[in-house]
Chain A
Amino acid sequence: MILLNPVGALGRAVLDGLAALGRLTLYLGATLYAMVRPPFYFREFGHAVWVIGYNSLPVVGLTAVFTGAALALQIYEGGSRFNAGQVVPSIVAIGMARELGPVMAGLMVAARVSSSIAAEIGTMKVTEQIDALVTLSTDPMRYLTVPRVLAATVTVPVLVAVGDSIGIFGGYLVGTQSLGLNAAAYLKNTADYLEIWDVTSGLVKGAAFGFLIALVGCYYGMNSGRGAQGVGAATKSAVVAASVLVLAANYILTTLFFAA
Chain B
Amino acid sequence: MIELRDIRKAFGRNHVLRGVTLTVPKGESMVIIGGSGTGKSVLLKCILGLVRPDAGQILIEGEDASRAEREAFLARFGMLFQGGALFDSLPVWQNVAFRLMRGATKRPKAEAREIAIEKLRRVGLKPEVADLFPAELSGGMQKRVGLARAIAAEPEIIFFDEPTTGLDPIMAGVINELIREIVVEMGATAMTITHDMSSVRAIADDVAMLHGGVIQWTGPVADMDHSGDPYLDQFIHGRAEGPIEAVR
Contacts and interface: CB of A to CB of B under 8 A. Distances in A.
B48 A134 contact: yes
22 contacts: A39-B102, A124-B87, A124-B88, A127-B83, A128-B83, A128-B85, A129-B86, A129-B87, A131-B81, A132-B85, A132-B87, A134-B48, A134-B49, A135-B50, A135-B74, A135-B77, A135-B78, A135-B79, A136-B74, A136-B98, A137-B103, A138-B98
Chain B contact residues (Cβ within 8 angstroms of A): what range? 20 to 34
A39 B45 contact: no
Interface in B93-126: 98-99, 102-104
A128 B84 CA distance: 8
Contacts of A129: 85-88
B83 A39 contact: no
B75 interface: yes
Contacts of B45: 131
A24 B104 CA distance: 32
B36 to A, nearest CB: 15
Contacts of A127: 83, 85
- CB-CB nearest 7 A-B residue pairs: A132-B85, A128-B85, A137-B74, A137-B71, A135-B79, A128-B81, A136-B99
Interface string A107-151: 000000000000000001001110110111110000000000000
A129 B86 CA distance: 6
Interface in B187-237: none
Contacts of A131: 45, 48, 50, 81, 85
B14 to A, nearest CB: 15
Nearest to B70: A137
A131 B49 CA distance: 10
A132 B145 CA distance: 13
Contacts of B75: 137
Most buried by B among A128, A129, A131, A135: A135
B81 A134 contact: no
Interface in A91-120: none
Given A134-B50, A137-B74, A128 B82 contact: yes
B50 A39 contact: no
Contacts of B74: 134-137
